Every structure is written in structure tokens, then in C-alpha cells.
């Protein structure tokens, strides 16, 4: 039996799932949330039985990992007798900078590099590093694999990833477009190829990951050639609490008006986007509810959201030189039919001209991480 454990740490959460490979059967999955807050919360699901939910107190990610391991070993809620049964762990790492272009087995040197990239993803890389460190300690001898959200976009050509800024800023600080959500974009692009029953090499696909964070990617021959998120996940289309593209002079203007850097950071990451424009919520379900009650701010938030997505899709059809499939995924992309229809209606002319299929594909980042980690472990075994 080959077990691959997948861990996906956020700033205050750890999602986990245990896969039997190579079948990719998920035996259990769960989410430990609100780590470090007064009360944390865990939802744990063992396949074939009802969910186990509990309010508890977990101070930090390390303690969280310990608790998750205890559940994996639990007689009723788990499936393992010993943690040594795990063949490998796949960790989602958000930022792999320019160095990590594919998944890798983590060693001391690579871990240091991932730590260095914390400056580029301050909310994500640090908790992911904590989880990796805990696993290296508790699961000695079991390979830990990092799967990067930026890796799928490492194929972007230089003219697509460079900003029109002095070249020295790229050389000195690595200021360039990196792109994110790569695990998801790759997963749904590959699935689109399967559904169209055509080799990925021949396809031009636009993948729209529309969740709380949103990004759009142009995929040509299975490779990402451009993507909407940039140096950080702020760039691109509008999102739940982030503005997407806007004139950077606005930041200078606000600084001159006396806004602090911290305040602007908070404003751009937590207070903008659907929430900022609507004044209602960052959650599209709430916005749609208000929209039906003719709330004008909810309407405008929705209009901006749709319009900006259409602009990106239009531009990406242009650089792809055609389109075979337009794919929607993640919370909004999968569940908001009305929004999908609005987006497509405005693009009717392009969709008709290209003959593109519109697909809704459920993204499963955990499964993709398990697949990538397993492929790497298998190769390692062969080369031994």
C-alpha cells in the first residue's frame, strides 16, 4: 500500500488529505482552521463515514500537525497504524521564485531557499515552512516533496514576465511576474485535454480560477504562456478582497495623503475587490443575494468583476491565436452559473469565431499535489 499525505498550509489553516497511490483514492481529508485564534476548528472526513467536527485550541502550525497525525492514527477516524506507513508527503508551497520550476524533494538547502522566498509570499511561505519543518522532524526518513504554485508558470517567456521597469530591479530583487494558482491551472488544463479527447500539445486553453483569489491563465500546448497574477497575487482580475490591476500611482497618492504602508497593505489585500466595491461582502453568494435585491453597489461590484475577466479572456485569445477551450474552476467558477453565462455572453463573438468549448471543471489541488509527489517519488526509486 502506497500512502501519500498532502499538506496545504495557509496563514491560519492546514488542509490535509491522505491518498492511496497510484489509484489516487482519497481515504481521508480535513481542514484545521483558525490556528492561533481563541478557538480553532477541525473538520475531518474519513471516506465512507460522516464528518468529525470539533472546536479545540491549537496555538501554532506545529501543534496542528501533531493533532492531524493523531487523527491519522486514530482507531476510528484514521487509517494508519504507524506514521512510517506514509511513503511521502506532498507540500503545497506557494512561492518557488525562479529556482523551483518543478516539484522537488526537500533538503536543508532547498528549505533555506523556500524560506528566502517568504519575502515574496509573506502570508503563505512561512506557515508552509513551519509545516515542512515539523514533518522533517516527526517523519524522519520519509521524503518530503514541495509542489509549487508558481512552477507551472515558469514557462512564461521573458517578454511576458518582465515589467516595463528598470532591468536592474529584476536582477537585484527578482521583480517580475511569477503567477500563482499554478497547481490548479495545470490540473484543469490537463483535465480539459482529456474531456476534449485531444492531446494537450495541440490545444489552446484559457483557464479561469475564480475563487476568493482569482487568476486567469493562457495555456498553449500544455504550457502556461501568460497569467494574470504577477509579482504577488494582487495583480490581475478583481478578487474577493484584492483589486487586481490598478494604476500604481494610487499608492503614491495615498502615501502623500498620509496613509501608512501598513494601512495601504491592508487596504489592498483585505479591503478591496468585491468587498471594497460592494460594501457587502467578499463572498460572491452574498453579493448575488444583494444584487437580486437591487443593491446598486453589489451590482457595480459584479459588473466590474465580469468586465475585467472578459478583458483578460479577450487578450489571451489574442496571444494564443485562437481558443479550443475556456475553462472555469474554483468556488465561483464552478458554482456561479449566472456569472459564467454573463462572462460568456459578452464574449459570444470570440467563442463563436474560435469554436471554443466552455467547460466547468472541479479543481482538486490536493489530488494534483499527490499525483506530482508520487511521480517524483517513483522516479527517485527508479534512479536508486
Catalog residues that contact ligand AMP under the rule CB under 6 A: 211-212, 240, 283-285, 330-332, 335-336
**Which is nearer to ligand AMP, 190 or 286 (by Cβ)?**
286
Q: Which residues contact 76 (CB under 8 A, 6 or more apart)?
A: none
User: Least distance (Å) from ligand AMP to the CB of residue 275?
Assistant: 10
CB atoms within 10 A of CB 182: 27
**Which is nearer to ligand AMP, 313 or 332 (by Cβ)?**
332
> Taking a C-beta distance cutoff of 8 angstroms, is the pair 245, 235 a contact?
yes
Query: For 35-89, where are the alpha helices, taking DSSP H only?
Result: 61-73
**Which is nearer to ligand AMP, 191 or 324 (by Cβ)?**
191
User: Least distance (Å) from ligand AMP to the CB of residue 301?
Assistant: 11
> Taking a C-beta distance cutoff of 8 angstroms, is the pair 319, 311 a contact?
no
With CB atoms as reference, the residue minimizing the distance to ligand AMP is 331
> Taking a C-beta distance cutoff of 8 angstroms, is the pair 275, 267 a contact?
no
Rounded to whole angstroms, how far apart are CA atoms 51 and 88? 25
**Which is nearer to ligand AMP, 166 or 279 (by Cβ)?**
279
User: Least distance (Å) from ligand AMP to the CB of residue 212?
Assistant: 4
**Which is nearer to ligand AMP, 135 or 327 (by Cβ)?**
327
User: Least distance (Å) from ligand AMP to the CB of residue 340?
Assistant: 11
Rounded to whole angstroms, how far apart are CA atoms 9 and 345? 37
CB atoms within 10 A of CB 353: 12
Residue 149: active-site member: yes
User: Least distance (Å) from ligand AMP to the CB of residue 216?
Assistant: 14
CB atoms within 10 A of CB 16: 25
**Lookup: cell for 14:** 492546514
Q: Which residue in 25, 149, 202, 286 is the catalytic one?
A: 149
Q: List residues with catalytic annotation.
A: 149
Amino acid at each position: 500500500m502506497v500512502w501519500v499525505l498532502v499538506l496545504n498550509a495557509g496563514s491560519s489553516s492546514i488542509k490535509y488529505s491522505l491518498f492511496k497511490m497510484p489509484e489516487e483514492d482519497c481515504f481521508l481529508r480535513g481542514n484545521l482552521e483558525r490556528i492561533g485564534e481563541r478557538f480553532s476548528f477541525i473538520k475531518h472526513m474519513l471516506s465512507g463515514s460522516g464528518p468529525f467536527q470539533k472546536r479545540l485550541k491549537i496555538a501554532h502550525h506545529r501543534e496542528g500537525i501533531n493533532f492531524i497525525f493523531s487523527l491519522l492514527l486514530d482507531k476510528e477516524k484514521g487509517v494508519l497504524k504507524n506514521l512510517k506507513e506514509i511513503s511521502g508527503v506532498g507540500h503545497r508551497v506557494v512561492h518557488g521564485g525562479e529556482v523551483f520550476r518543478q516539484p522537488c524533494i526537500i533538503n536543508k538547502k532547498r528549505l533555506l531557499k523556500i524560506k528566502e522566498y517568504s519575502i515574496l509570499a509573506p502570508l503563505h511561505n512561512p506557515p508552509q515552512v513551519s509545516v515542512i519543518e515539523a514533518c522533517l522532524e516527526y517523519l524522519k526518513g520519509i521524503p518530503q516533496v514541495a509542489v509549487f504554485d508558481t512552477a507551472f508558470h515558469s514557462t512564461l517567456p521573458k517578454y511576458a514576465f518582465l515589467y516595463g521597469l528598470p532591468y536592474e530591479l529584476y536582477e537585484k530583487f527578482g521583480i517580475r511576474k511569477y503567477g500563482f494558482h499554478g497547481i490548479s491551472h495545470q490540473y484543469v488544463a490537463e483535465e480539459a485535454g482529456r474531456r476534449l479527447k485531444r492531446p494537450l500539445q495541440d490545444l489552446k486553453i484559457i483557464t479561469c480560477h475564480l475563487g476568493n483569489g482569482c487568476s486567469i491563465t493562457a495555456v498553449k500546448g500544455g504550457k502556461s504562456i501568460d497569467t494574470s497574477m504577477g509579482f504577488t497575487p494582487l495583480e490581475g482580475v478583481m478578487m474577493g478582497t484584492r483589486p487586481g490591476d490598478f494604476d500604481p500611482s494610487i499608492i503614491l497618492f495615498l502615501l502623500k495623503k498620509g496613509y501608512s504602508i501598513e494601512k495601504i497593505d491592508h487596504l489592498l489585500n483585505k479591503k478591496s475587490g468585491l468587498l471594497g466595491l460592494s460594501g457587502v461582502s467578499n463572498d460572491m453568494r452574498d453579493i448575488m443575494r444583494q444584487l437580486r435585491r437591487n443593491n446598486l453597489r453589489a451590482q457595480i461590484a459584479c459588473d466590474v468583476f465580469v468586465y475585467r475577466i472578459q478583458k483578460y479572456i479577450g487578450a489571451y485569445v489574442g496571444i494564443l491565436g485562437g481558443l479550443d477551450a475556456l475553462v472555469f474552476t474554483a468556488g465561483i467558477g464552478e458554482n456561479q452559473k449566472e456569472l459564467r453565462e454573463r462572462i460568456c455572453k459578452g464574449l459570444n463573438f470570440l467563442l463563436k469565431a474560435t469554436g471554443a468549448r466552455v467547460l466547468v471543471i472541479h479543481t482538486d489541488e490536493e489530488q494534483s499535489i499527490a499525483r506530482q509527489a508520487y511521480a517524483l517519488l517513483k522516479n527517485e526509486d527508479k534512479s536508486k
